[in-house]
Amino acid sequence: MGAVALASALILTACGSSEEEPTQAQASASGGVQLVNSGKLTTCTNVPYEPFQFNQGDKVVGFDVDIVDLVAKKLGVTQSIVDIDFAAIKSGAALNSRRCDLAAAGMTITEERKQNLDFSIPYFDATQALMAKKGSGITSLEDVRTKNLRLGAQASTTGLDYVTKQGFQPIEFADSSKELLGLQTGRVDVIVQDLPVVLTWLKRENVGSEYEMVATLDTGEQYGIGMKKGNTALKKVVDETIQAAMDDGTYDAIYEKWFGTPPPTRDDSSPSETPAETPAGS
């Protein structure tokens, strides 16, 4: 019986060691941050969402990618990107299942999402915009209502939440590219989307020649990088990296690279609806 007990103890000890070793092997060289994959900072995102993250050849590039690259550099690792449904990101499911270490997907910080994720300090001030065919005569959401027009929005986004709270029942699209296609094919008459995304679309000749931004919706949103709740070690590194980049000018350089202008001074006024002739940040 003693021999059996000793053998059982050895087996349990061996099992315990095998479970702990991967965790120790995944420890980052910086600050004891535990990573899902050794030597990599794995980022969950939702492609395409230009200019924040989109495919360029066989690579995913964009504003968010460059920001997270700074975090990876501080940790002494490289960034690895996982393209996943946005609903799995905002719900925290992708982080809880260890698909990734963090989520950077042009994601607005909301009280509801804070129940599922820990967010970094804000790294981007966001504004929503309405986009429609040129000459539509639309200048506001109220025009969409009174003209009984078909409104489109990307699923699981704050743009969708905003117009829904205004009493609309928009047609939902799985991602931003499908939303744009819905407008181009006439499935909807107008769409709501983040302002930087709309401005990027309008730079394309085949889009800008036929469509225009007709209004901005200043919702006072801010983007944050999401992490699994309780991952304080990684949050500390992410926050310090973002703040350092803002302080030393690195953030400004990345912003100008993807948006073509310096970062605008944040306006803390209450959310409002603004004609397209005076978009925020232009």
The angle, 0 to 180 degrees and rounded to 10, between the axes of the packed helices 250-259 and 63-75 is 150
- Say if domain 127-221 classifies as CATH 3.40.190.10: yes
User: Taking a C-beta distance cutoff of 8 angstroms, is the pair 134, 276 a contact?
Assistant: no
Q: What is the pLDDT along the chain (282 residues), one digit of tens a residue?
A: 444 444 444 333 333 333 333 344 445 445 589 999 999 999 999 998 999 999 999 999 999 999 999 999 999 999 999 999 999 999 999 999 999 999 999 999 999 999 999 999 999 998 899 999 999 999 999 999 999 999 999 998 999 999 999 999 999 999 999 999 999 999 999 999 999 899 999 999 999 999 999 999 988 899 999 999 999 999 999 999 999 999 999 999 999 999 988 887 644 433 445 444 333 222
With a CB cutoff of 8 Å and minimum separation 6, the contacts of 63 are 51, 52, 53, 124, 254, 255, 257, 258, 259
Tell me the CATH number of domain 23-123+224-259, given options 3.40.630.190, 3.40.50.300, 3.40.190.10, 3.10.180.10: 3.40.190.10
By three-state DSSP, how is residue 250 classified? helix
pLDDT for residue 27: 52
Q: Residue 228 is encoded by which pair of tokens?
A: 């699994």
Residues 154-189 as b or e (16 or more Cβ within 10 Å = b): bbbbbbbebbeeeebebebbebbbebbebbeeeebb
Torsion-angle region of 209 (φ positive above 0: left; ψ -120 to 50: alpha; else: beta): alpha
Angle at 81 between CA 79 and CA 82, to 5 degrees: 150
Query: What pTM value is reported for the model?
Result: 0.73
The 10 Å Cβ neighbour count of residue 278 is 8
* Same fold flag, 23-123+224-259 and 127-221: yes
Report yes or no: 175 and 154 within 8 Å, Cβ to Cβ. Answer: yes
Sheet holding 117-119, edge to edge: 78-83, 40-45, 102-103, 226-228, 117-119
Buried b (16+ CB within 10 A) or exposed e, 246-256: eeeebbeebbe
Take residue 216 and report the two structure tokens written for it: 């901005």
Domain ranges of the chain: 23-123+224-259, 127-221
**Rounded-to-integer distance, Cα 120 and Cα 239, Å:** 6
